[in-house]
């Protein structure tokens, strides 16, 4: 392909668009090497700087990744997790499965959870608001990172009021069959509804590092409140790699 001087796109954009089409079509499959800078220069008749700018555009889009000393490759596609509205169904807990476990096993994928912190901490203001306590009052937090097929996919923090979980395994790394929600229900906090809010944004440097995100990859930040009646019993925050999750919700049409 030669550069079209009458095209309103810059030469680097023309090259990037051509490479993108080859990636989307599957001609350049996940893991395949992009043409080298020299090959791009020869193919398109441009300066090396123009070829580098084209590849940089694709890197910023998260389509390709550079490996030092080896070249630039089409990004491998990580496994996609369906985050469904049915994941909190009680029948999963009745057979000893937490929501995340049910989702991943339904997809036939391997997973693991890495515990980062179990501690009493001062409550952030947004957590305190839901619990109806003063900001800074002590709450219990479970911080963990989840992995799917050796990809880190989620940073998850669950907050609880101390008196609600005293003497339960929620304060331990292994909460037991059915997870924290099963332990809450055993304490008499029967879950009746959930509220979720999702925000898409770019990650912080720490989040990019923890989730091993390539440049240009956004995250989805999810806040979930679990209720027993009208009482919040868990305040949850998750930061998820947006390219590794699909959110699927089913609900009755309101009258």
Per-residue pLDDT tens digits of the chain, which is 255 residues long: 678 888 888 999 999 999 999 998 989 998 899 999 999 999 898 899 999 999 999 988 778 888 888 889 998 776 667 666 666 666 656 655 666 666 777 777 788 889 999 999 999 999 999 999 999 999 999 999 999 888 899 999 999 999 999 999 999 999 998 889 999 999 999 999 999 999 999 999 999 999 988 777 899 999 999 999 999 999 999 999 988 888 877 778 877
Q: Are residues 89 and 180 in the same domain?
A: yes
Cβ proximity of 77 and 246 under 8 Å? no
Report the alpha-carbon distance of residue 36 to residue 86 in Å, rounded.
47
> pTM for the whole thing?
0.74
Whether 255 is covered by a domain: the verdict is no
Whether 4 is covered by a domain: the verdict is no
Q: What is the CATH number of the domain that holds 237?
A: 3.40.1410.10
Give one DSSP letter per residue of 169-224, joined into a string.
Answer: GGGSS---TTHHHHHHHHTT----EEEEEEEEEPPPHHHHHHHTPPTT--EEEEEE
* pLDDT for the residue 89: 66
Q: Are residues 200 and 218 in the same domain?
A: yes
Whether 175 is covered by a domain: the verdict is yes
Residue of 158, 168, 93, 172 lying closest to 130 (CA atoms):
158
Whether 235 is covered by a domain: the verdict is yes
Cβ-based burial of 133 (10 A; exposed 0-12, middle 13-18, buried ≥19): middle
Whether 55 is covered by a domain: the verdict is yes
Q: Are residues 32 and 85 in the same domain?
A: no
Angle between helix 37-44 and 48-60 (nearest 10): 110
Q: Are residues 176 and 209 in the same domain?
A: yes
Q: Are residues 193 and 161 in the same domain?
A: yes
Q: Are residues 181 and 161 in the same domain?
A: yes
Whether 1 is covered by a domain: the verdict is no
Q: Are residues 221 and 120 in the same domain?
A: yes
Q: Are residues 113 and 210 in the same domain?
A: yes
Q: Are residues 157 and 226 in the same domain?
A: yes
Whether 254 is covered by a domain: the verdict is no
Cβ proximity of 141 and 159 under 8 Å? yes
Q: Are residues 203 and 131 in the same domain?
A: yes
Q: Are residues 98 and 201 in the same domain?
A: yes
Range of the domain at 36: 11-74
Report strand pairing: 151-160 vs 231-241.
Answer: antiparallel
Structural domains in the chain (count)? 2
Whether 6 is covered by a domain: the verdict is no
Residues 6+ away with beta carbon under 8 Å from 85: 248, 249, 250, 251
Cβ proximity of 86 and 250 under 8 Å? yes
Residue found by looking up tokens 């923090």 in the block:
157
């Amino acid at each position: 392909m030669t550069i079209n001087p009458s095209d309103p796109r810059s030469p680097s954009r023309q090259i990037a668009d051509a490479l993108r089409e080859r990636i989307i079509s599957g001609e350049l499959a996940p893991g395949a090497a992009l043409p080298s800078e020299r090959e791009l220069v020869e193919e398109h008749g441009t300066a090396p700087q123009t070829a580098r700018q084209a590849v940089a555009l694709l890197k910023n889009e998260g389509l390709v990744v550079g490996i030092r000393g080896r070249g630039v490759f089409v990004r491998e596609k990580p496994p996609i997790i369906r985050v469904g509205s049915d994941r909190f169904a009680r029948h999963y807990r009745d057979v000893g499965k937490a929501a995340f476990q049910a989702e991943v096993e339904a997809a036939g994928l391997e997973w693991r959870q890495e515990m980062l912190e179990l501690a009493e901490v001062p409550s952030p203001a947004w957590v305190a608001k839901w619990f109806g306590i003063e900001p800074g009052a002590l709450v219990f937090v479970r911080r963990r990172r989840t992995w799917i097929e050796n990809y880190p996919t989620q940073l998850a923090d669950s907050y609880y009021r101390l008196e609600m979980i005293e003497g339960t395994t929620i304060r331990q790394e292994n909460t037991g069959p059915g997870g924290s929600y099963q332990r809450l229900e055993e304490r008499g906090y029967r879950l009746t509804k959930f509220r979720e809010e999702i925000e898409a944004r770019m990650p912080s440097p720490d989040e990019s590092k923890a989730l091993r995100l390539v440049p240009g990859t956004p995250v989805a930040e999810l806040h979930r409140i679990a209720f027993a009646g009208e009482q919040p019993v868990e305040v949850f925050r998750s930061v998820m790699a947006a390219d590794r999750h699909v959110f699927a919700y089913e609900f009755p049409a309101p009258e």
